[in-house]
Amino acid sequence: MAFVAETQQSKLDALGLVPDQLPRHIAIIMDGNGRWAQSRGLPRIEGHRRGVKSVRAVVEESVDLGIEQLTLYCLSSENWKRPPTELKLLMFLLEQYLVEERSEIMRQNMQFSIIGQQDGLSPAVLKEIDKTKEMSSSNTGMRLCLAINYGARAEVVDAISRITQKCIDGKLAADEIDERTVSDHLDTSGMPDPDLLIRTAGEMRISNFLLWQISYAEIWVTQKFWPEFREPDLQQAIKDFAQRDRRYGGLKSK
């Protein structure tokens, strides 16, 4: 653990930052895999393969910097509209990632979790998800959360349904419902809200990702496609985050 702390301090010193300036939770919309591949005359799936390298780089850098949680938007509920062959390969890459990275997750003391609906995920992927979650359940380091078959509107609808059922069952009164009640019934219950939302490929939209949770997140967009995103890009996003004046609707104190 002393080595981890030393690594974090040297990283922060190089960036001119202190721990209090770091975002607790970084969420990333990993966009542009297909466009990166097509711009190079490659099949779209090659962009997804290269994107895995960016995932590895960003996860490792986040651990080294001492980030509390990293949430990656891997597959949206809208992505099922893509060609079946591409979806099949995405499932294979996800399964492969879980198998190959499990030892690294354990070595880095990371906690692994997912958000999203399990319907549509292959039995092989579900098996590896459960195995990785179980193995890492006692870890105490960074939480790595993958958003798989995830859609924020569906998440909110499910939360409302659960809250409504509690009211029907007499376990909750309507006048007791507040923001905390909603947060506690979302997929992300128990997780801190994202402080920093990163999106690659230059798109200026949220794409149905963590709509409730990012209400006060700082947004950072890069023109780079996800397969091009590496440690210096994450570092720049964090440095820019540290310079922002986060007032949460208030006025800057004099």
The residue ranges of every structural domain in the chain are: 22-53+74-150, 152-190+202-212
Q: Does residue 179 register a pLDDT over 60?
A: yes
Lowest mean pLDDT among 37-46, 54-63, 169-178, 244-253: 244-253
Q: Which of 13, 33, 64, 79 is catalytic?
A: 79
79 is catalytic: yes
Share of the chain above pLDDT 90, in %: 83
- Hey, which CATH number is domain 22-53+74-150, 3.40.1180.10, 1.20.120.530, 1.10.1660.10, 3.30.230.70? 3.40.1180.10
* Sign (positive or negative) of CA dihedral 126, 128, 131, 135: negative
Residue 173: strand, helix, or coil: coil
Residue 32: strand, helix, or coil: coil
Q: Which residue has the tokens 């010193």?
A: 13
Q: Which residue has the tokens 């301090």?
A: 9
Question: What average pLDDT does the segment 154-175 reach?
Answer: 98
Where would I find the H helices in 108-139? 123-135
**83 compared with 64, residue with greater pLDDT:** 64
Q: What is the pTM of this model?
A: 0.93
CB contact at 8 A, 175 and 152? no
Question: What average pLDDT does the segment 50-66 reach?
Answer: 96
For 187-197, write each residue's pLDDT tens digit: 999 999 999 99
Q: Does residue 3 register a pLDDT over 60?
A: no
Cα 207 to Cα 28: distance, rounded to the nearest angstrom? 11
Q: Does residue 13 register a pLDDT over 70?
A: yes
Q: Which of 13, 20, 31, 193 is catalytic?
A: 31
175 is catalytic: no
Number of neighbouring beta carbons within 10 Å of residue 36: 23
